A and B are shown apart, each in its own frame.
Chain A
């Protein structure tokens, strides 16, 4: 562990950041937020873990390859456009479930735009982490060359 305080803070902050990113993702249809900003927040959580210890640890925490995440996100975004077409409407037409009420959350609107946002969320996480992991590998190989 490279930085003791940052490492521990990251461990505590990680779940908080992930939950925050999910809240931002969910409220994004009508309020500030959405898949893009939520995805950035979630990626930040992983990067924080990586900075506190090593990027390897962050990678292990993510479990899947960021590129796979990117592809799955894109696929989800495409699929969210299809239900509208079943009803003869154009691609990406929003289809909504009837609104229902839950304790704490209040009125819940679920529909294809949210699915689209989930796709964006995953694409942003995948892209940000792929880039970060790649850059950190480059930096590591540079410092190794420097010490030799």
Chain B
């Protein structure tokens, strides 16, 4: 029963939560369990990826209630690769957290919440039901609210408050959109909604809910003009937390956007294409300008998340096979690189007590290995060949040129240059220049050995290099995934038992 492969990436973290709550008193159990279960989830996600690549679609109707009435779990190649790469980050950051998360946070159930976060993210990628997507979003968000404000310091609470308010707003809009679509179609199964819209003569009645969902997913993804919560909150929690947020949470929003416009609202896509295109361009530009204006490493990196989201949405807006493949490749590359950069900033904080570029310097001399480890993800993000970011940008730009989207291509290239500029700024300030002498840089007492922090960074950097040099299999996989996305009929027939009757 390869369908059970669908269940494991959701069930393993949940079992982990149970066991860690039972062993709440022992910090050793918390640490060991957190790493063990996030690694097991990663192994399960690889198995899922393998199984989906064999079978095209894996579908499981929970409780044996047939779709569209029951809850479907569905994996196609796109969702399987998202689960795999996010569980990879989950495992890497789980190890990193061993040396960064202090006792107070461990006692406040850091690792159980961390596993709940992975549970929610994987669930969101695997569900085939719009309302359940909402539920998974909430699971993920509630865990992230607590993870973000766990320390209880003023900055954390301030960032957390902005984050909570805006995400609740987005949830309300999501719920309203899902409610309207349910009122109109009588179903919440994504495949069923997609089928009904495709068969309808005029699908404009779904425009209102599609717009509500666009705003809601855009808010979660950090798109222009809804991104302002992101740079306001991501720089406050410990680096392990902001790394996993940076890598995963906004990407769930991007995933939901892809799912909306390649499946649920497919027939409406021509009407929103221009909106998406310009939102993507504005997201890229504002994000990178924000990054250029800041002088704190983690704030710069947060703004770069925004600008990179623009590239992915741009791939969706182009909607050609090559563009979608490029966007999927971009997502994978970006999750790895961005998580890695936040992890590096955590090491900088550990060594220098701050990641404000005005206070930090001289890392090139004192820690040349860290400079090398920063160099790889930073310049991959900037799109320097032969690192992974170059191929992602190259494919995206090529797909834009093919459909003569000159404005978008121009902005994509320009933003690439500016990205490189702010990466160079971090490089020059934190690594190249001499340590400023008049500032106090006594780092806090470290929690655990440095090796647990460096090992994940090394592994992620190696994956970036490997994707850069031997990216062919991943790109072929992305092309297969994109082909699947462009053929919603196959998704629908995989999920629904037989062609459903159409409501007038």
Contact = CB atoms under 8 A, between A and B. Distances in A.
Interface of B is mostly: helix
A93 B1 contact: no
A74 interface: yes
A34 B463 CA distance: 48
B18 A71 contact: yes
A7 interface: no
Contact of B63 (A65, A67, A92): A92
B15 A78 contact: yes
Contacts of A75: 18
A70 B64 contact: no
A65 B18 CA distance: 14
A68 interface: yes
Nearest to B72: A90
Nearest to A89: B64
Nearest to A113: B63
Contacts of A65: 24
A84 interface: yes
Contact of A90 (B3, B11, B15, B19): B3
A87 B7 CA distance: 16
B255 to A, nearest CB: 23
B18 A78 contact: yes
A85 B18 contact: no
B21 A90 contact: no
B63 A94 contact: yes
A91 B11 CA distance: 10
A90 B18 contact: no
A35 B64 CA distance: 21
A92 B61 CA distance: 10
Contacts of A85: 4
Contact of A74 (B4, B17, B60): B17
Given A74-B17, A78-B11, A93 B22 contact: no
Nearest to B71: A92
Contacts of B15: 78
A98 interface: no
Interface in B33-86: 60-64
Contacts of A146: none
A91 B60 contact: yes
Given A78-B14, A90-B3, A91-B7, A70 B21 contact: yes
Interface string A51-81: 0000000000000010110111011001000
A88 B18 contact: no
A83 B477 CA distance: 36
Contacts of A71: 17-19, 21-22, 24
A142 B19 CA distance: 33
A93 B63 contact: yes
A85 B63 CA distance: 10
Contacts of B63: 84, 90-94
Nearest to B23: A71
B22 A91 contact: no
Given A67-B24, A78-B11, A85-B4, A91 B62 contact: yes
Contacts of A84: 63-64
B3 to A, nearest CB: 7
Contacts of A67: 21, 24
Contacts of B24: 65, 67-68, 71
B62 A92 contact: yes
Nearest to B14: A78
Contacts of B60: 90-91
Contacts of B62: 90-92
Contacts of B21: 67-68, 70-71, 74
Interface of B: 1, 3-4, 7, 11, 14-15, 17-19, 21-22, 24, 60-64
Interface of A: 65, 67-68, 70-72, 74-75, 78, 84-85, 88-94
Given A67-B24, A91-B4, 16 more contacts: A65-B24, A68-B22, A68-B24, A71-B17, A71-B24, A74-B17, A74-B18, A75-B18, A78-B14, A84-B63, A85-B4, A90-B61, A90-B62, A91-B7, A93-B63, A94-B64
19 contacts: A71-B21, A71-B22, A74-B17, A74-B21, A75-B18, A78-B11, A78-B18, A85-B4, A88-B1, A90-B3, A90-B61, A90-B62, A91-B4, A91-B7, A91-B60, A92-B62, A92-B63, A93-B63, A94-B64
